[in-house]
Chain A
């Protein structure tokens, strides 16, 4: 094992792919592969993949219903054949994904016993079939060769047997007494079974304490409800019933939303089927440019610490606060505020005011009071009991106890507090004062190396459990594979500590639920819960509350600060650091900055000028005596004197993928607050290479063009709702498309004809489609250096354009994948006819025939073709290959690739239709869903048969705002766009002559 460790250390992030190759060939690696499957080591002949599959398949020996997994047991080898397991056919199981205290139901696709693709569960109220990037990418985590694979005792390789022996002495022989010295730290507990086990544990050790800790929590939101309603509550915002939405620093469409539901609901009200339709209006006040801000009709750029005054001013204008609150902002803000007040009043009962998790309890309380005053409570804003409420104070108390030396045993379940804890607490020093520290984690992370015992954690795809989503709905977490690294779940470890007789996750979960049901129904109900992915009737009842805003005792507003603020946000890529070793997420460009493999200190142009810093120069930011050197990046739309840093990067104890990526924001997150003030910010003069997939291009051409003829390229076509009503066909009429051919067009009127629409008005640019496509189509990861050369391989890219003022622009996002042109420029120029057209209108790639002249990519006006400049797949180690979709060829070096409209799914659906006796009939909506369409929470992507007039895609294409991008080049693309609409407040529209 030490051999592997030495090599792992020697590898840096940059050399990621080559290094894996070097590693995969070593004897140490093979040995380690065997160690990964200790339970079945005797079955393994080396690291032969077939044997691995055999072992896994054996665990499916009893698999009965396709969507219902039974507990594991090794009975029948795959070679003997297993009923219901058809080679090459995929299986789907429902399960649930938990992150940061929110749970989303999933349907996971498995091939030959390996989970390969994540989809949202249609039955789950927080998913409704959609999912997010984190959930999509989580499947890669279980095949991560750097994932923790063995029990470590004091850093030395140990075994579960040794641990079990230790645990039986420690936890059963009563050495802990009443548990006064026992402390457990976990992430938010949203699992009813785990809560139950926790209860038993605390009954056994009444003096023990269980602390839930999240670096990014909704604590302030819950404190806000306590201030207003006198009780902790979970607010639910019904954007689908709101005509006006005001976000006070809430990126509710993006990182602040734990589930796709808010996007689902918001986009419902944003959708426009015909010009007369009303759509909602979104006001956003925020410091960093978020995807929610990009959707805004009016966005106010404000320091995050000033949003309190904005909220107060708004409350005063609405007659909630009497105190005089000087907004002291520019006239523009005052003007928007007054218009906003009138708009909210007009839409009383049909509006939502939401405060973001970074804002104080006071701002949350103000937002709730405004909702109350507008009559939104009970209509667009409802409440249920809160699910879990990790409290920063409880964690701080724990550190106090550790420092006092009163903690004998500290158990850390599944989180990495050494990395994420506020620096002022000096948690890593405090940790050392406990006699025994037990860490259950997926990685040998910062906490693991300081622990006396490190135990490998089984992923949610490998272990039994359950989880409640924020609305209370319970889903059973159903594994799809045996723990690859022989890990255990938090549930199982807790049960062990609590002294459960049966410590198997399956038994605990099943017993917990079935014991609540009549004996006769137990089996059927449990099976149904597994099948549906949700447990019917478990949603929380609505808590009806009301408050008199006048009687709420608000804490005093904090004085405005002139200091530079630092705002800590979870990263789009790595969240709080748990995905730092996930290459898919690392390579997905940040939706707004387009930064890959790194984070940066985002600052406005004015702030950059003040600090005399340019992109890529390293700033030294000092907060509360702690300082961090981090590369600066100028972000249009960023508030002045405000620095935003995404957390989770810069981890030191990390696998090869995450090695050397980004800067650790937690180093200066002195307290648990998300907004802090920097005592000093200075330019060190050092530089760092930041890599983005896109520069700050706007659609307006460079200044020098203005001299000749100012032109805005008709790429993302946008109008206000008002303009749309007057000119419904503004979008297609922005250019003149010749639509003419000297040869005549091919006749596509027969059979299935595939087409797609992308509604730019719904798309929020969340990246989920990029990762879903990557997972479905085996799109390779290439690493930071290759991306810096401009060789990004994603089949969908999200083009981000700014419009308007350079300091305070609006942004639009346009997903772009192969447009499947009927008159495809790529096809005629290929000398070996490797890209050709099907009668169903698909622009096919024949990988085997491609010699890689790259002429097709040069001639593609959309530049959506991707070339394998190097062998991006060859270096994958065996375990990583297991994530691949067997229905999609893995492309070799020197070959061109691109979006296929998920042709494998089209073929599968056609075969299925044939089997069902629908031969010759047109395929209908629902037969085929492309990966990007399936994951899209905003339902912006619609794919289907354009020869079927009833299909959704045909309907969408009939909308007057439907347009073909670059129609003037006469490519006749099958993917068309629905123009973006904005709904500005008529009071704020400046009429140009």
Chain B
């Protein structure tokens, strides 16, 4: 019998291994746990203090905003929403990749998700946390909005909310999404928390112990765990689609030209996935290098994400084209004007920034060289993040600034408070992310082991196929 023994390099040529190097169960556990268990590196402290400082700036800006009013931002009449809702939609969009990776890819049995799902889910939660600042603080009276928008009994309002308002739908959509994402993330963390507990001592063991909910790795535990995880994945999947659909209703349900369009739900969801994956690449390319996890988060993972970006980027580009076509085809002069005005009006620069970043930049991913080059994809992902911010700005501000009656037209310019608040939300996001990589396993150890075991078997099978 011929020796069919395959060495790993040969297997890689057919189906690249998801974990590189000579990883074993023990080495995976060690590699991931090491990050949490070693002494806090100086670099972390520097990054963390910087992030906290920026996050505190956001707190300061919001305090200033509450003290003096929305007038400290650049919003005006007719541009009632500007950076506030732009930033909200941008952050919510970024939050999409996490749930998509963990839920939808899980249901589709895409094994490559295992190395990146934990960090992506964490990113989702932190992005939602950053986004959540805006629905509250963009209101004129946040001290009322904080509870008047929820259907809780109170003696001030003495009536129900207006359930016809898309903003009310938003309240439910975003809070549901945030809750389910948190649960999903936490359930996935339980086995790994137990691993950390078992390796830790003292207070750390105690705290990890509380959060690992008595996990012992028994078969019964695994059975329940798998079931819960599957159910949550099933619950999360429609949410991935629904959140941004409902966010898009804020615009689609209105009568403003440029907002009132039925293409918004799929267009927003595609855009959200697009921006979410871009953010995952931005963070993961840095994290895998900083945490020395190149063998776990491999080029294959990154390449797959680049492919998703290419696909969703083209959906988004197609949506831009369709909007223009419908604006002309509908015969609605206001609609047509809005789109011509986007491209050639006072905000032309925002529109063309959006097109360049979102439509042109992803085209480089047709080339394998670009898909597998970490520096190129890092730069491209930054551009896409910028482009997606401009997309929301273009939709919100340029539609508002010139609508039906030219007598009401205006122009929006951001103030320093606008800018600093936005930068501050990035500080909040980074602060939470840095805390995450410091105290929790950035990679789903138990899931990666599952993939690892399979690979071992392929290798073993190859070697031992003598019968």
How far is it, in angstroms, between the C-alpha of A695 and the C-alpha of B405 when the chains are bound?
12
A8 close to chain B: CB less than 8 A? no
B255 within 8 A of A: yes
List B393-411 residues whose CB lies under 8 Å from chain A: 400, 403-411
A895 to B139, CA, bound (A): 9
B161–A786 touching, CB < 8 Å: no
**Majority SS at the chain B contact face:** loop
In this assembly, does A869 line the interface, its C-beta being within 8 Å of a C-beta of chain B?
Answer: yes
Of B141-149, B180-188, B419-427, the one contacting chain A is B141-149
Proximity bits, A124-164, B CB within 8 Å = 1, else 0: 00000000000000000000000000000000000000000
* Bound CA span A896–B75, Å: 14
Distance between A536 CB and nearest chain B CB, rounded to angstroms: 45
Q: Are B80 and A831 in contact (CB under 8 A)?
A: no
A709 with B336: CB separation less than 8 A? yes
Q: Which of A827-849 contact B (CB under 8 A)?
A: 828-833, 849
Q: Are A851 and B148 in contact (CB under 8 A)?
A: yes
A46 interface residue per 8 A CB criterion? no
Q: Write out the residue numbers on chain A whose beta carbons fall within 8 Å of the beta carbon of B77.
A: 790-792, 857, 863, 865-867
B51 to A: closest C-beta gap in Å: 30
**Complexed CA–CA distance, A910 and B164 (Å):** 32
Instruction: Flag whether B157 is at the interface (Cβ < 8 A).
Output: yes
Provided the pairs A825-B255, A851-B145, A858-B80 are in contact, do residues A694 and B407 lie with their beta carbons within 8 angstroms? yes
Q: Distance in Å from the Cβ of A221 to the closest Cβ of chain B?
A: 36
CB contact under 8 A between A851 and B254, given known A713-B406, A831-B149? no
Say yes or no for A806: interface residue by CB 8 A criterion: no
Per the bound structure, the CA–CA distance linking A859 and B256 in Å amounts to: 6
Whether A855 touches B80, Cβ cut-off 8 Å, given contacts A704-B344, A832-B148, A871-B69, is yes
CA distance A799 to B405 in the complex (A): 9
Of the listed stretches B165-173, B199-207, B357-365, B382-390, name the one at the interface; the rest are far from the partner chain. Answer: B165-173
**CB <8 Å contact, A832 and B157:** yes
The smallest beta-carbon distance between A452 and chain B, in angstroms, is: 46
Taken together as a complex, chains A and B put the C-alpha atoms of A814 and B333 apart, in Å, by: 21
B139 touches A969 (CB 8 A): no
Contact of A832 among B161, B250, B404 (CB under 8 A): B161
B148 near A858 with CB under 8 A, answer no
Please give the distance in Å from A838's CB to the nearest CB on chain B: 16
Is A853 interfacial (CB-CB < 8 Å)?
yes
B162, A831: Cβ atoms under 8 Å?
A: yes
- Chain A residues with Cβ below 8 Å from B157 are 832, 849
* Residue B76, interface by CB 8 Å: yes
Say yes or no for B140: interface residue by CB 8 A criterion: yes
Query: Are B141 and A852 neighbours in the complex by a CB distance under 8 Å?
Result: yes
A 389-420 binary contact with B (CB < 8 Å = 1; else 0)? 00000000000000000000000000000000
- Answer whether A708 and B162 are a contact pair too, CB < 8 Å, given A790-B410, A850-B141, A861-B403: no
A833, B161: Cα distance in complex, Å:
6
Instruction: Given A709-B333, A829-B165, A855-B167, answer yes or no on A789-B74 (Cβ-Cβ < 8 Å).
Output: yes
Q: Which residues of chain A are within 8 angstroms of B410 by Cβ–Cβ distance?
A: 790
Known contacts A711-B333, A861-B403, A870-B71: A853-B167 contact under CB 8 Å: yes
Q: Quick one: closest A residue to B408, CB to CB?
A: A863
Binary contact track B339-371/A, C-beta < 8 Å → 1, others 0: 011001100000000000000000000000000
Given contacts A829-B165, A854-B140, A893-B140, contact A698 B76 (CB under 8 A): no
**A797 CB within 8 Å of chain B:** yes
Task: Let me know if A869 and B167 touch, CB within 8 A.
Answer: no
The reply to whether A859 and B254 form a contact with Cβ atoms under 8 Å apart is: yes
Q: Which residue of B lies closest to A970 (CB)?
A: B255
A660 proximal to B (CB < 8 A): no
Say whether A870 contacts B69, CB under 8 Å. yes
A708 to B329, CA, bound (A): 12
Question: B233 at interface (Cβ–Cβ under 8 A)?
Answer: no
Question: Per a CB cutoff under 8 Å, which of B71, B75, B80 touches A786?
Answer: B71
A725 at the interface (CB under 8 A from B): no
A552 on interface, CB distance cutoff 8 Å: no
Q: Do residues A854 and B81 form an inter-chain contact, with CB atoms below 8 A?
A: yes
Question: A260–B163 Cα gap in the complex (Å)?
Answer: 49
Contact status A894-B148, CB under 8 Å:
no
Contact B407 A799 (CB under 8 A): yes
Q: Which residues of B contact A724 (CB under 8 A)?
A: none
Contact A859 B255 (CB under 8 A): yes
Using A705-B337, A851-B149, A871-B69 as known contacts, say yes or no to A858 and B141 having CB atoms under 8 A apart. no
Q: How far is the CA of A831 from the CA of B136 in the complex (A)?
A: 13
| Chain A residues near B400 (CB-CB < 8 A) | 858
| Alpha-carbon distance between A816 and B404 when the two chains are bound, in angstroms | 13
Task: List the B side residues contacting A709 at CB < 8 Å.
Answer: 333, 336
B211: interface (CB < 8 Å):
no
Docked CA distance A532–B333 (Å): 55
User: Are A894 and B140 touching (Cβ within 8 A)?
Assistant: yes
Q: A711 CB to closest chain B CB, in angstroms?
A: 5
Q: How far is the CA of A704 from the CA of B71 in the complex (A)?
A: 34
In chain B, positions 215-274 with a C-beta closer than 8 Å to chain A are 250, 253-256
| A868 close to chain B: CB less than 8 A | yes
Asked if A704 meets B340 with Cβ closer than 8 Å, knowing A790-B411, A801-B406, A863-B408, the reply is: yes
Indicate whether B280 reaches chain A with its CB closer than 8 angstroms.
Answer: no
Q: Are B139 and A894 in contact (CB under 8 A)?
A: yes
Query: Would you call A166 an interface residue if the criterion is a C-beta within 8 Å of the partner chain's C-beta atoms?
Result: no
- Measured CB to CB, the nearest residue on chain A to B160 is A833
Asked whether any CB of chain A lies closer than 8 Å to the CB of B79, the reply is: yes
B50 interface residue, CB < 8 Å from A? no
Nearest chain B CB to A904 CB, angstrom units? 23
Kindly identify, within residues 929 to 943 of chain A, every residue whose CB is under 8 Å from any CB belonging to chain B: none
A855 CB contacts on chain B under 8 angstroms: 80-81, 165, 167, 250, 254
**Closest chain A CB from B56 CB (angstroms):** 24
Q: Are B141 and A895 in contact (CB under 8 A)?
A: yes
Are B68 and A862 touching (Cβ within 8 A)? no
**B272 CB to nearest A CB, Å:** 21
Which residue of chain A is the closest to B70 with respect to CB atoms? A869
Whether A791 contacts B255 in the complex (CB less than 8 A), given A711-B333, A831-B161, comes out as: no
Q: How far is the CB of A38 from chain B (nearest CB, A)?
A: 37
B79 touches A790 (CB 8 A): yes
Q: Is the CB of A966 within 8 A of B404?
A: yes
Assess the B255–A857 pair: CB atoms within 8 A.
no
> Do A863 and B403 touch (CB < 8 A)?
yes
C-beta contact mask, A955-988 vs B, less than 8 Å → 1, else 0?
A: 0000000000110010000000000000000000
| Closest-CB distance, B154 to chain A (whole angstroms) | 11
Q: Report B-chain residues with C-beta under 8 Å of the C-beta of A866.
A: 77
A799 to B75, CA, bound (A): 21
Known: A829-B165, A854-B80, A895-B140. A869 touches B75 (CB 8 A): yes
Q: Which residues of A contact B152 (CB under 8 A)?
A: none
Q: Are A828 and B340 in contact (CB under 8 A)?
A: no
User: Taking the nearest CB of chain A, how far is it from the CB of B261, in angstroms?
Assistant: 14
B392 close to A (CB within 8 Å): no
Q: Does A542 contact B (CB under 8 A)?
A: no
Q: Is B138 an interface residue, CB under 8 A from the partner?
A: yes
User: Which chain A residues border B81 with CB–CB below 8 Å?
Assistant: 854-855, 858
User: Is B159 on the interface with A (CB-CB < 8 A)?
Assistant: yes
Residues of A within 8 A of B250 (CB): 855
B78: CB under 8 A from chain A? yes
Given contacts A697-B409, A863-B77, A894-B141, contact A832 B149 (CB under 8 A): yes
Apart from the given pairs A797-B407, A857-B78, A868-B140, 18 other A-B contacts in the complex at a CB distance below 8 Å? A708-B328, A713-B333, A816-B405, A816-B407, A825-B255, A829-B167, A831-B165, A851-B139, A851-B144, A852-B70, A855-B167, A858-B80, A866-B77, A869-B76, A894-B69, A894-B139, A894-B140, A895-B141
Sampled A-B contacts (10; CB under 8 Å)? A705-B336, A711-B337, A790-B77, A829-B166, A830-B167, A832-B157, A852-B145, A855-B250, A858-B256, A859-B256
Chain B interface residues (CB < 8 Å from chain A): 68-72, 74-81, 138-142, 144-145, 148-149, 157, 159-162, 164-168, 171, 250, 253-256, 328, 333-334, 336-337, 340-341, 344-345, 400, 403-413
Q: Which 10 A-B pairs have the closest CB atoms?
A: A852-B140, A894-B140, A799-B407, A869-B71, A854-B80, A863-B408, A790-B76, A697-B406, A870-B71, A790-B410
